[in-house]
Structure 1
């Protein structure tokens, strides 16, 4: 039996996250999850799993040539991530050796 005022679990969780200021952190986690889709599997497998804090995504890369290539496309990557998320979640990307 369905009630007239029922809500989906997704709607309830979304509201709970927004009320507890967790929506931003959830968006940052989604940005990490879509990284392989943005850069492609060949590059993603070479990088350490990125993390995002306060809008800055940090990605570990194994060598200088890949770091240079990604750095040259930094603004395109930021735009692609934010377009995919539908909001400006990532403001900067840092590429570090490792």
Structure 2
């Protein structure tokens, strides 16, 4: 009898994504999709656009007062977003 090399499907998919260079964009998309869930619908309604560059999430908010409040909570927001995805995708968040 021979020994089979059995792998978890999740591990195989992640290995394949990593080999094709698609893991990071997928994680970034997941992080941005979780924005409304992490910060709440109220804040999400004032979010106009967002993008990630060099491990920094840039968020454009239409309300200046909310921008100031969220700037003081940057570290907490980064931790919650990364925890929601399950790995460190961003290191900072900037509001403009």
TM-score by length of 2: 0.82
SS in 2 for 1:42: helix
Q: Give, in angstroms, the shift of residue 63 of structure 1.
A: 2.6
Task: Show the counterpart of 2:88.
Answer: 88
Once superposed, what is the RMSD of the aligned Cα atoms? 2.1
Superposed CA deviations along residues 17-62 of structure 1, whole A, max 9, x for unmatched, are 1102221111111110000001100110111132112211010011
Determine helix, strand or coil for the equivalent of 1:51.
Answer: strand
Please give the alpha-carbon distance, in whole angstroms, between the structure 2 residues aligned to 1:44 and 1:8.
36
Number of residue pairs matched? 93
Aligned to 2:72: 72
Gaps of 5+ in 1: none
Query: Which residue of 1 is the match for residue 62 of structure 2?
Result: 62
Q: Report SS of the residue matched to 2:93.
A: strand
- CA distance in structure 1 between the aligned counterparts of 2:72 and 2:92, rounded to whole angstroms: 13
Give the gaps of 5 or more residues in structure 2. none
Q: CA deviation at 1:15?
A: 2.9
2-structure distance, mates of 1:54, 1:19: 20
SS at 1:76's partner residue? helix
